[in-house]
């Protein structure tokens, strides 16, 4: 099997002469992440879908609800601080010790708020003790997420990937064992927490080897000022709002299907979404790998940064479109092979939702664009609009058209938030131009090079 950097060489060649040395380094970083997500995809297809098939639609629907709660409260606890931290670490690497300490304190503070929200939510919905404990543990480990941001800022992508690969492989083996012994549902839920916790722990060990600009390690004790902590939280709240709204938009459909159509239909829908999620994770993490080079610093001109955005949009839009076409043609065969006849309805959902991946990929790059340009408020507004649109349309569509209607709602909401809203924002003329060249350039076989956006 080719190394990730060699596997990406063809992309690098197609980007010349517009790609500078830094851009080519970023593409190699994305290659490491694609290699990681190759393993993640294999885990999702061969282990995750085996788990769905083993549990059946009803039990898998319940598990999906618990997994969504873990993801939601983990994101709520990070409060968008990790994204802002990455930007600040790239812009001012000499401040790494103080920034890391401030970020840990900020996430710890938001963790207290998350715990209070968790207790209120658990009381309101009558959640069991085991579910509350699992979600609370997810909240407790989030301060360790700052190490991921530091490694990305230092472009130590191999360390990030190795940490994630070890955790993915370990949890995949654990889930196989749980399937073979017919373990209770709560142990499958614990495996989700274990994957994140193990990855964070390995990254924390890797960070200890990274020196700061002053010669001390970045993990050396630092006491941040209240102003530094509040500054991070103040900058991160739009990103938090966008993240939570995006999660609501992408997961609320499963909750509404569960409530309006029952656990069995929720399980069928969640299984099809799992196939979709296996792909859309790739654009998300590739765009994150590019983020250090998408922030204009002393070594990058504005024109170079804009050109990198064009390259990233073009790469992800083209790949998403190709995956959508192939998946739609093979959807019935994919579902029958991986899930069995109990999940027959998942093929129609997959054929629709996979095209939403095109606009999800755009959304991933949008998030980096807005952060790089200090436009987090626009990101938050779009995510909230998308979430409201998703909830409103799902309440109308699910009772009439079932899970297929919910899939169409997802496609509509993502297209609106990540593309159509550009046309009513006068500040985004440059972004509209980049997207048009990326989207229609791929469709028409355009090979335009060397021009600014």
Question: What pLDDT score does 320 carry?
Answer: 85
Q: Is the pLDDT of residue 375 over 50?
A: yes
Higher pLDDT, 262 or 251: 262
In the structure encoding, which two tokens stand for residue 177, read together? 């064992």
Are residues 85 and 99 in contact, defined by beta-carbon separation less than 8 angstroms? yes
Q: What percent of the chain has pLDDT over 90?
A: 6
Question: What pLDDT score does 290 carry?
Answer: 62
Residue 280's SS3 state is helix
Q: Which of 250, 202, 276, 288 minimizes the C-alpha distance to 41?
A: 276
- pTM here is 0.62
To which residue do tokens 């043609």 refer? 329
Interval 303-320: pLDDT, tens? 776 777 788 888 888 888
Are residues 289 and 34 in contact, defined by beta-carbon separation less than 8 angstroms? no
Interval 131-142: pLDDT, tens? 777 777 777 778
For 52, 149, 452, the CA distances from 104, given in Å and listed in that order, are 36, 12, 39
Neighbouring CB atoms inside 10 A of 255's CB total 17
Confidence of residue 2 (pLDDT cuts 50, 70, 90): very low
Q: Which of 377, 361, 359 minimizes the C-alpha distance to 413?
A: 359
Mean pLDDT in residue range 261-273: 82
Question: What pLDDT score does 180 carry?
Answer: 92
For 116, 359, 397, 421, the CA distances from 401, given in Å and listed in that order, are 37, 23, 6, 26
Are residues 32 and 161 in contact, defined by beta-carbon separation less than 8 angstroms? yes
> From CA 232, how far away is CA 74, in angstroms rounded?
18
Q: Is the pLDDT of residue 215 over 70?
A: no
Interval 44-82: pLDDT, tens? 767 877 888 888 888 887 787 777 777 777 777 777 787
Mean pLDDT in residue range 335-358: 84
């Amino acid at each position: 099997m080719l190394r990730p950097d060699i596997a990406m060489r063809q992309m690098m060649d197609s980007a010349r002469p517009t790609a500078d040395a830094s851009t080519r380094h970023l593409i190699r970083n994305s290659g490491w992440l694609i290699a990681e997500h190759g393993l993640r995809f294999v885990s999702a297809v061969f282990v995750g879908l085996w788990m769905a098939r083993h549990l059946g639609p009803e039990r898998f629907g319940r598990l999906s609800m618990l997994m969504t709660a873990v993801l939601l409260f983990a994101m709520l606890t990070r409060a968008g601080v990790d994204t802002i931290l990455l930007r600040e670490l790239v812009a001012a690497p000499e401040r790494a010790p103080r920034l890391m300490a401030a970020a840990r304190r900020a996430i710890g503070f938001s963790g207290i708020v998350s715990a209070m929200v968790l207790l209120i939510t658990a009381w309101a919905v009558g959640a069991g003790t085991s579910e509350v404990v699992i979600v609370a543990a997810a909240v407790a480990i989030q301060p360790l997420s700052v190490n991921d941001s530091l490694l990305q800022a230092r472009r130590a992508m191999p360390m990030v990937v190795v940490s994630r690969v070890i955790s993915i492989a370990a949890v995949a083996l654990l889930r196989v064992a749980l399937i073979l012994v017919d373990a209770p549902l709560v142990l499958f839920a614990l495996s989700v927490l274990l994957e994140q916790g193990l990855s964070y722990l390995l990254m924390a060990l890797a960070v200890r080897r990274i020196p700061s600009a002053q010669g001390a390690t970045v993990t050396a004790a630092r006491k941040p000022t209240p102003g530094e902590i509040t500054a991070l939280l103040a900058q991160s709240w739009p990103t938090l709002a966008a993240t939570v709204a995006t999660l609501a938009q992408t997961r609320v459909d499963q909750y509404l299907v569960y409530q309006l159509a029952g656990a069995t239909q929720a399980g069928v829908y969640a299984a099809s979404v799992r196939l979709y999620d296996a792909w859309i994770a790739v654009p998300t993490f590739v765009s994150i790998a590019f983020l250090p080079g998408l922030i204009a610093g002393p070594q990058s001109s504005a024109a170079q940064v804009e050109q990198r955005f064009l390259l990233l949009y073009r790469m992800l839009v083209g790949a998403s479109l190709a995956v959508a076409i192939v998946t739609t043609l093979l959807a019935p065969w994919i579902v029958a092979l991986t899930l069995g006849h109990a999940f027959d309805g998942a093929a129609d959902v997959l054929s629709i939702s996979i095209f939403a991946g095109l606009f999800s990929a755009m959304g991933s790059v949008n998030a980096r664009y807005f952060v790089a340009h200090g436009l987090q408020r626009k990101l938050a507004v779009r995510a909230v609009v998308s979430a409201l649109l998703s909830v409103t349309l799902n309440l109308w569509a699910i009772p009439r058209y079932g899970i297929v209607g919910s899939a169409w709602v997802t496609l509509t909401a993502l297209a609106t938030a990540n593309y159509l809203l550009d046309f009513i924002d006068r500040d985004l003329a440059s972004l509209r131009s980049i997207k048009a060249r990326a989207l229609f350039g791929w469709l028409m076989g355009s090979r335009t090079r060397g021009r600014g956006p």
